[in-house]
Amino acid sequence: MIPPHKTPVYLDYNATTPCDPEVVNEMLPYFSGNFGNAASLSSYHGFKAHQAVEKSRDRIAALLGAESSEIIFTSGATESNNLALRSVYSALSEQGNHIISSSIEHPAVLATLKDLEKQGVRVSLIPPLPNGSFDIEAMRALISPETILICVMYANNETGVINPIEEISAVARQHQILLMSDATQAIGKLPINLQKIPVDILTGSAHKIYGPKGVGLFYLRHRHGKKVIDIQPQITGGHGEQGMRGGTLNVTGIVGFGKAAELAAQELEQGLTTTARQRDRLENALLALGHIQVNGAGSQRLAHVSNLSFRHVDGGKLLKLLKNTLTISTGSACTSSSLSPSHVLTALGLSDELAQSTLRFSLGRDTTEEEIDFAIAEVRRVTKLIEDVSVDHPA
Ligand code: PMP
């Protein structure tokens, strides 16, 4: 039984994760004791802060199989995606103006691409395959001499579908096109070894891996000791982060990110078997209720995510009734205070109604068996209340 003070039960770890207590402990001394400015290298305080930042850079590089000098700190994956896309265009606009991406990227990518279109970029957004995965053949067909970048997320935040980044990177290499991947949902959930997978630019965020909010990473590959492209800083002022990102470093946040990366590496080594088992138990129990489909079924998915559409219930009622007991995401995105169906689900071919009758469960390190039992019982109770077999949302 879940005591009432523990509700709503949190199953929305793709939205954000709590800071791990070990992360908080490691951060605390940097708020007021070791408060130095990491750029003030000649001072005692500054040097201490600098050392802490570099330790974090090493830990994050170790998690990703990268060199420490290839890691740049930002304010989050949104900033990193902006930095990547805008820099690639400004560095390579003489060579071409074509960017290939997918229609189910995060808004931080899609909105930036839209903005770049106004500056003359030709963007090709590839719709997903029916199983939610990236369509490599469509990508091959789109490659042209003007293509300067392929940008494909590592794993989708809504469905948890894992894209075939290794195969994509082989094609990108063959055509000598830069490859960028938003790995915000994959870091710490999948082993990523950038020594083996030739992604050129990778982005991520601390708050998805039990680190603090407001810290992100931008990975830029070095080849033969040189950056693969010159980066035009998007935040100017100062020489921070090898001249790629101005501003005083968020030392506490970076320290937290480093510890979170270390913990994530340990967790990956142990395997996320408990989470995978809990997700499967939840998913199978809910599927047994009937009239439910798994979005992304038939493809490789992150072990902690389950995206389910309820064909026989009204989405609005479902969400309203679950609001106080379960914290989960829906198949709707809040845009300017109106609810619009998720662009990911509609790209997968779901009708607006079915997209809005969709729940995303994302489990985490702290999820307990009792919470899974509770979630199953809650969804069962609520769907029974509102089930209406006369409603049959079109696929
Ligand atoms: N990309 C993906 C795939 C995400 O899931 C998110 C967070 N929802 C972001 C980018 C943005 O990350 P941040 O919150 O660090 O800006």
pLDDT tens digit string along 215-239?
Answer: 999 999 999 999 999 999 998 887 8
Q: Clarify whether residues 152 and 274 are in a common domain.
A: no
**The residue type at 276:** A
Q: Which two tokens stand for residue 306?
A: 């389950």
Kindly give the number of the ligand 1 atom that is closest to the alpha carbon of 155.
3
**pLDDT band of 336, cuts 50, 70, 90:** very low
Q: Clarify whether residues 186 and 131 are in a common domain.
A: yes
Q: Which of 80, 83, 185, 215 to mutate to test the pocket of ligand 1 (most atoms within 8 A of CB)?
A: 185
CA dihedral 48→49→50→55, nearest 10 degrees, is 90
Q: Does some domain include residue 4?
A: no
**The residue type at 179:** L
pLDDT reported for residue 118? 98
Last-in-domain residue among 236, 262, 288: 262
Q: Is 247 left (phi over 0), alpha (psi -120 to 50) or beta?
A: left
Q: Clarify whether residues 188 and 309 are in a common domain.
A: no
Q: Does some domain include residue 164?
A: yes
- Cα of 148 from ligand 1 centre, angstroms: 23
d(CA 184, CA 208): 7
Please state, in angstroms and as integers, the Cα–Cα distance from residue 144 to each residue in 141, 150, 169, 174, 315, following that order. Answer: 8, 11, 16, 13, 43
pLDDT reported for residue 335? 46
We report the CATH number of the domain holding residue 345 as 3.90.1150.10
**What mean pLDDT do residues 292-302 have?**
97
pLDDT reported for residue 388? 64
Q: Clarify whether residues 80 and 216 are in a common domain.
A: yes
Last-in-domain residue among 262, 280, 311: 262
d(CA 303, CA 372): 15
- Cα of 44 from ligand 1 centre, angstroms: 35
pLDDT reported for residue 236? 87
- 128 DSSP assignment: P
Q: How many domains does the chain have?
A: 2
**What mean pLDDT do residues 123-134 have?**
98
With a cut of 90, say whether residue 1 has pLDDT above it: no
3-class SS of residue 5:
helix
Q: Clarify whether residues 104 and 223 are in a common domain.
A: yes
Q: Of the listed 273, 334, 337, 394, which one is catalytic?
A: 334
With a cut of 80, say whether residue 262 has pLDDT above it: yes
Q: Which helix (H) or strand (E) holds 104?
A: none
Q: Which two tokens stand for residue 8?
A: 């709503």
pLDDT reported for residue 337? 47
Q: Does some domain include residue 68?
A: yes
> Which residues share a beta bridge with 306?
361
Q: Which range is least confidently modeled, 108-117, 229-238, 256-265, 279-288?
A: 229-238
**Residues spanned by the domain of 341:** 9-18+268-392
pLDDT reported for residue 331? 76
Q: Which of 79, 180, 184 to mutate to test the pocket of ligand 1 (most atoms within 8 A of CB)?
A: 184
Please state, in angstroms and as integers, the Cα–Cα distance from residue 213 to each residue in 19, 222, 244, 311, 390, following that order. Answer: 9, 27, 21, 35, 44
**pLDDT band of 333, cuts 50, 70, 90:** low
Q: Does some domain include residue 273?
A: yes
Q: Clarify whether residues 185 and 293 are in a common domain.
A: no
Q: Clarify whether residues 73 and 151 are in a common domain.
A: yes
Q: Clarify whether residues 255 and 279 are in a common domain.
A: no
Please state, in angstroms and as integers, the Cα–Cα distance from residue 307 to each residue in 42, 143, 287, following that order. Answer: 52, 32, 11
Kindly give the number of the ligand 1 atom that is closest to the alpha carbon of 207.
15
Is 19 an annotated catalytic residue?
no
- Cα of 395 from ligand 1 centre, angstroms: 28
Sequence-distant (≥ 6) Cβ neighbours of residue 287 within 8 angstroms: 294, 308
Q: Clarify whether residues 228 and 314 are in a common domain.
A: no
87, exposed or middle or buried, with CB in 10 Å at 0-12, 13-18, 19+? Answer: buried
Last-in-domain residue among 262, 279, 304: 262
Q: Does some domain include residue 2?
A: no
Asked whether the CA dihedral 316, 320, 326, 332 is positive or negative, the reply is positive
Pairing of strands 147-151, 98-102: parallel
- Cα of 262 from ligand 1 centre, angstroms: 20
- Cα of 383 from ligand 1 centre, angstroms: 31
**What mean pLDDT do residues 47-67 have?**
98
We report the CATH number of the domain holding residue 215 as 3.40.640.10
3-class SS of residue 380:
helix
Among residues 13, 1, 38, the alpha carbon closest in space to that of 365 is found at: 13
pLDDT reported for residue 163? 98
- Strand ranges of the sheet holding 98-102, from the earlier edge strand across to the other edge: 71-74, 216-220, 201-205, 178-182, 147-151, 98-102, 122-126
Q: Which of 16, 75, 78, 113 to mutate to test the pocket of ligand 1 (most atoms within 8 A of CB)?
A: 78
d(CA 312, CA 362): 22
Kindly give the number of the ligand 1 atom that is closest to the alpha carbon of 156.
3
pLDDT reported for residue 314? 84
Q: Clarify whether residues 284 and 238 are in a common domain.
A: no
Q: Does some domain include residue 58?
A: yes
pLDDT reported for residue 268? 96
Q: Clarify whether residues 250 and 369 are in a common domain.
A: no
- Cα of 4 from ligand 1 centre, angstroms: 31
Task: Confirm if 248 and 20 have CB atoms less than 8 A apart.
Answer: no
Q: Clarify whether residues 56 and 157 are in a common domain.
A: yes
Mean residue pLDDT across the chain: 94
pLDDT reported for residue 391? 66
Q: Does some domain include residue 85?
A: yes
Q: Which residues have C-beta atoms less than 6 Å from ligand 1?
A: 76-78, 106, 108, 153, 157, 182, 184-185, 205, 216
Q: Does some domain include residue 3?
A: no
